[in-house]
A = this chain, B = another copy of it.
Amino acid sequence: MRNNTIGSLIWLRLMRFTTQSNQLSNEFLKRFDLTTAQFDVLMQISVYQPLTQSELAEKVTVTQGGISRMLVRLEKEGYIERKQDWKTKTISLTEKGEAVLEQAFPEQLAFQSSFFDEVLSEEEQKTLYTLMTRVHKNSQKKELPPE
């Protein structure tokens, strides 16, 4: 063993980096009493509101069940509102949700960016972004290979 391919090395780096930076981000967001996942959901709502739970679930790559529980928590905290419209629940931010996001948004963005700003030039960041965009888009239409 072990002839690693370049692809598998990239994969590992990505996995390690994301778990690591996700942990750091969770710690960072404690000051706003949010988790990274919650921040993500609030962001998506703020951009796309009003929207349904299924739409949201898809945007943040979580199951229906997952989004349901998550929104219960966020609703209990008073960050969001759900209205039963027809058979659909329409989600939107409350005042309080807007306020928290308004506060957390610039800081969280700066924090996320710092991971890249500290070691990559503007040019390199653009390159990284386009490469990852291609990779991500590809993965979205990927099927499992047959056994």
Contact = CB atoms under 8 A, between A and B. Distances in A.
A17 to B, nearest CB: 4
Interface in A106-138: 109-120, 122, 124-129, 131-138
Contacts of A135: 17, 115-116, 119-120, 128
A17 B14 CA distance: 9
B119 A8 contact: no
Contact of A14 (B18, B109, B119, B126): B18
Given A24-B139, A140-B20, A7 B127 contact: no
Interface residues of A, number: 64
Interface string A1-25: 1101111111101111111111110
Contacts of A5: 109-110, 112-113
A2 B132 contact: no
A112 B17 CA distance: 16
A80 B102 CA distance: 49
A125 B13 contact: no
Nearest to A143: B24
A94 interface: no
Interface string A88-109: 0000000000000010010001
- Nearest 6 Cβ contacts at the A-B interface: A7-B113, A7-B116, A17-B136, A11-B112, A13-B132, A5-B113
